[in-house]
Amino acid sequence: MTPIRILVVDDSVVIRRLLSDTLSGDSALEVVGRASDGRIALAKIPLLKPDLITLDIEMPVMNGLETLAAVRKLYPSLPVIMFSTLTEHGAAAALDALSLGASDYATKPSNSGSFSVAIEAIPRDLIPKIKALCGAPKLLTLPPPRPPTRLRAPVQRRLEIVAIGTSTGGPNALTEVLPRIPPDFPVPIVVVQHMPPIFTRLLAERLARRSAIPVEEGSAGAILTPGHAWIAPGNFHMTVIRAGVDWRLNLNQAPPENSCRPAVDVLFRSVAAAYGANVLGVVMTGMGSDGTVGAQHIRDAGGEVIIQDEASSVVWGMPGLVCAAGQADGVYPLDQLAPEITRRVLQSRSPRTPLALKSYATLEPPSK
List, by residue number, the catalytic residues: 167, 194, 290
Type of residue at 40: I
The rounded distance, in Å, linking the Cα atoms of 224 and 192 is: 15
Q: Are strands 237-243 and 229-231 parallel, antiparallel or unpaired?
A: unpaired
The rounded distance, in Å, linking the Cα atoms of 3 and 136 is: 12
Centre a 10 Å sphere on the Cβ of residue 118 and count the other Cβ atoms it contains.
18
Q: Which residues pair with 34 in a beta bridge?
A: 8
Query: Dihedral of the CA atoms 117, 52, 73, 86 (nearest 10)?
Result: -10
Residues near 214 by beta carbon (within 8 Å), at least 6 away in sequence: 208, 227, 228, 229
Please check whether residue 190 is in contact with residue 282, taking contact to mean a CB–CB distance below 8 angstroms. Answer: no
The rounded distance, in Å, linking the Cα atoms of 195 and 200 is: 6
Q: Which of 6, 26, 4, 22 shows the shortest CA–CA distance to 14?
A: 22
Q: Work out the angle between the directed axes of helices 38-48 and 64-74 (0-180°, nearest 10).
A: 30
